[in-house]
Chains A and B, each alone.
Chain A
Amino acid sequence: MLRVVIIDDEPDCVRLLSLQLKLYCPSVQLLGSATDSEEGLQLIQQLQPNLLFLDVEMPVMNGFQLLEKLGTIPFQLVFVTAYDRFAVKAFRYSALDYLLKPIDGKQLQDAVNRAAQRQLPAQQQLSMLKKQLHDKEGSQPDKIALPFQNGVAFTELKNIVYCSSENNYTRFFTTDGQQYLVAKTLGDIQETLEGRHFLRVHRQYVVNLDHIRKYVRGEGNYLVMSNNQQVPVARNQKERLIERFGWL
């Protein structure tokens, strides 16, 4: 049973989320809500929820400051934000869940379901988030959190060789020979990693351009990666590869 607390400075938002939880996730128990971060802090300490919906933008004390004040996070966490590209990027790299306002019912359901299944967020994920948010605008994170079945792996981007799609999951192949199956679609991954020397070369593959060793032409072009794995290249993606490299 998920016990939920909502913290958002806009009364309308709190009301809407409560209403939506009732509508789409009747199994959760809404313990309380706050429109003020100070009040919210007390509420968390009193009610001990195991799922917190937290608005990022709040006057006086924003969501992150609130978490910082809390110290340990003994609950699942879903951030709620109207619009913040930088925050969204940070969430993605830290593998923390988030919802965008106005919240979609289906997405809310998924978020609640994920929260019910997965493990508590690691402290490292939060510190990663904090670090990314504090870094200056435009700075690029060099690490990514990969939540897999048994926990969260923190991998440097340069150590990821390539990712392949497996249904709604994505398998990461790293330089140390490890593989991580992450509960995210390759599309999500592509969105997160593209622009960081990663390229989707095929419907099923996103590769780290730094790990390409060879490009083999012939019956179906393919790449030989630094771990000697072969990754096929879609015909229509060949152009993009050329564009990025200027050769081939």
Chain B
Amino acid sequence: MCRTFRILLLFTVFGAWLTVAHAQDTLQVHGVPLWKTGMRIEKYCAIMEEDADRPLSFEQAKQAVFQQYTDSFQLARNSPRPLLIQWIRFAIRNQSMTDTADLYLSMGPHYFASLYDTAGLLHKSGIYETTIEGFAKGFLPLQLLPGQVKMFWLRTEDRRSHLVPPSLTLDTPFTCYKLVAEGMQRDRMLFLLLSMLTGSLFFISFFAAYQYWLSRDSSFLWYMAYTLSSAIIGLFWLDIRHQLSLYSAVFHDLVFAFFLYCVPVLYSLFIGKMLHLSVQFPRSWWLVRILLVVAVWQMVLQFVTLRTGYFLFSKQFGYFVSMAPVTLLNLILLGLTAFSREKIRWFMFCGLLSMLLLWCMPMIVFPKIEFRLNKWNMVLIFLPFYFLLGLTIEAICFSFALSYRSKLILQEKNRLQRQYSADLEQALARRTAEIARQNESLEKQKIQQVQTAFEKKLAESEMSALRARMNPHFIFNCLNSIKLYTLENDAQTASEYLSKFSRLIRRVLEDATAEKITVAKELETLQLYIELEAMRFKDKVRYSIRVDDEIDQDLVEIPPLLLQPYVENAIWHGLMHRPQGGAIEVAVTQPADNCLQVDITDNGIGRAAADALNSKSATRKKSFGLQMTAERIDILNQVYGMQAAVVVNDLTDNAGTASGTKVTMKIPLF
């Protein structure tokens, strides 16, 4: 039994030696081992890194020279290609003659990983391998029939700068599932937090997009772009860390190359827009612009680097080149934000500062974290988490800034509106006052106009009163008579005539401008007039003037020159048309305290006959004086608020024939 075993062992060793060019131990398993944890297999492995320009095929790789695996060898590579391709070879023997060994190779996180056996490709896996579904992307299944010795080749492709420390473990299904289950258990907090942050950023970007659609304010556009980019980055890390198979390899590279630079560019633009930095600090802002352009160039450079593996700079210098502009940009932004005059600057400042602190924090915190496998530790050691958290806090601060700005804008708008309303009210008040003033002045002007017109009319009526009284005909005929007596040497009559005439003229001239005169004066004037007419027409004109004894002629006052036109009318149209002439009677009574009544009665031919004669007349009617007086009475009524009234009655004798006219004038006294 022992001997048989020894022979078998020798054979196996020999066989192994035969099959591998390089001395390499063959891993022995016995069916499915009852391991509690996976078994590290580095020491059974040989490694080969491709250094040709083109990738090798599996057949070519099989012929290549492998070396004993060491960690340092795996980490120090010098390939010109973007992806490092390493081949790891190991052999396993299933010692059991009855049990098949179902095992898993756990090879750690790689971009792409494939497992080959002598016959060819067995399985593919890897973080970037979107064609593989399932949770166990870090595991490649392998199977050994009872007693079978098999050689395997693991091919890994990795981003040169993103190599993770190798870990090659052989697991039984039990340890494999245990690892996966424990891993999921451990990562749940990280998953939750990453999902939350990414979700928040997504939500914020949609919200900002809607805000932008509403307001067309480019700050919202920058904000939206920045949060969306952050969300995509969040998704990127979720994808990598939790193996969600969301992104293709190219998209991974795109995110890695562009979005990481895109975020600072976008939030710089957003901050600049929010704080009007380009206006406040034009020179510094030019520097920011230059850095932004640099960042854009870096995106391109990074992408080219990722895709081609062609590095412009050495590793250290590359780090400096990729980090320095962004760091400078952030520091400048921080400074500008702090010194900005905008009210919302502290929101921006806090956001930016939080992001930068959280970004840098891992450098301080990380070395102090003790590596333990628990749910919080998983969060703490996941570097992108800090960055994502920083971005989210920044986005939240910025959203506060936006809200506060909205409030400020609203306040400003309200203030402006109030101001505008006040201005408008003021303008309205001014305008109203102006209109009122204009109206007033217009009213005044109108009143003045009316007054002037009225005064003019009044003056005219005074003039016409004068004219009515002093009929030019009458004047010249009087003068004619005086001339006659002079020529006839009748000095006595001429003198009497002249003195009466001059007294009348004086009276009329005086009274015409007086508002009121006593009844005595008015009657005296009237008497002078009638006497002169009587002198001209000899016996044709007789007259009497009666005044009620109760009337105090020297106290009672009436508007001047109201009576004369009616007397003149009576003489000319009543008496003159009668060959034998006639009599005129003036009676003054006071029927009430506030009323004076004057009756002018003549025994002439009557109005009807006079009208008939006048209508045949070729000259103008003689009613000029009467018409003027009627108008004057109207005006006097208006001016003094009187109700003076004139009533003309035709008198008839017993036989019914016209026997004269009676004019009754009622003059209010006050």
Q: Which residues of A contact B (CB under 8 A)?
A: 9-13, 15-16, 19-20, 23, 36, 56-57, 59-62, 64-65, 68, 82-84, 86-87, 100-103, 130, 133-134, 137
Secondary structure class of chain B's binding surface, majority of residues: helix
A36 with B488: CB separation less than 8 A:
no
Q: How many A-B residue pairs have CB under 8 A?
A: 82
Q: Which residues of B contact A (CB under 8 A)?
A: 472-473, 475-477, 479-484, 487-488, 536-538, 572, 576-577, 579, 613, 616-620
Interface CB pairs A-B, < 8 A, 12: A9-B576, A12-B477, A13-B477, A13-B481, A15-B488, A19-B484, A64-B619, A68-B618, A82-B480, A83-B476, A101-B479, A130-B618
B481 with A10: CB separation less than 8 A:
yes
Cβ contacts under 8 Å, A60 to chain B: 576-577, 613
Cβ contacts under 8 Å, A68 to chain B: 618
A10 with B537: CB separation less than 8 A:
yes
What distance in Å separates the Cβ of A7 from its nearest Cβ neighbour in chain B?
15
A100 with B572: CB separation less than 8 A:
no
Other CB < 8 Å A-B pairs besides A12-B477, A59-B613, A65-B618, 7 of them?
A16-B483, A62-B618, A82-B480, A83-B473, A101-B476, A102-B482, A102-B483
Which one of B480, B572, B579, B613 lies within 8 Å of A12 (CB-CB)?
B480
A33 to B656 Cα, complex, angstroms:
37
Which one of B476, B484, B617 lies within 8 Å of A65 (CB-CB)?
B617
- Answer whether A82 and B619 are a contact pair too, CB < 8 Å, given A10-B536, A15-B484, A15-B488: no
The 3 nearest A-B residue pairs measured at CB: A82-B476, A83-B472, A64-B618
A140 to B632 Cα, complex, angstroms:
30
A134 with B618: CB separation less than 8 A:
yes
B579 with A36: CB separation less than 8 A:
yes
**CB closest chain-B residue, reference A104:** B483
Cβ contacts under 8 Å, B483 to chain A: 16, 102
A59 with B488: CB separation less than 8 A:
no
Which one of A9, A11, A16, A56 lies within 8 Å of B619 (CB-CB)?
A56
What distance in Å separates the Cβ of B319 from its nearest Cβ neighbour in chain A?
99
What distance in Å separates the Cβ of A152 from its nearest Cβ neighbour in chain B?
21
What distance in Å separates the Cβ of B434 from its nearest Cβ neighbour in chain A?
39
B536 with A16: CB separation less than 8 A:
no
A133 with B618: CB separation less than 8 A:
yes
A13 to B481 Cα, complex, angstroms:
7
- Answer whether A20 and B487 are a contact pair too, CB < 8 Å, given A10-B537, A60-B613, A134-B618: yes
Cβ contacts under 8 Å, A82 to chain B: 472-473, 475-477, 480
A100 with B476: CB separation less than 8 A:
yes
Kindly name the residue among B479, B484, B576, B620 whose own CB sees the greatest number of chain A CB atoms within 10 A.
B484
Which one of A10, A19, A62 lies within 8 Å of B617 (CB-CB)?
A62
Cβ contacts under 8 Å, B618 to chain A: 62, 64-65, 68, 130, 133-134
A87 with B619: CB separation less than 8 A:
yes
B480 with A10: CB separation less than 8 A:
yes
A64 to B476 Cα, complex, angstroms:
20
What distance in Å separates the Cβ of B568 from its nearest Cβ neighbour in chain A?
13
What distance in Å separates the Cβ of B107 from its nearest Cβ neighbour in chain A?
117
Kindly name the residue among B481, B488, B613 whose own CB sees the greatest number of chain A CB atoms within 10 A.
B481
**CB closest chain-A residue, reference B483:** A102
What distance in Å separates the Cβ of A187 from its nearest Cβ neighbour in chain B?
23
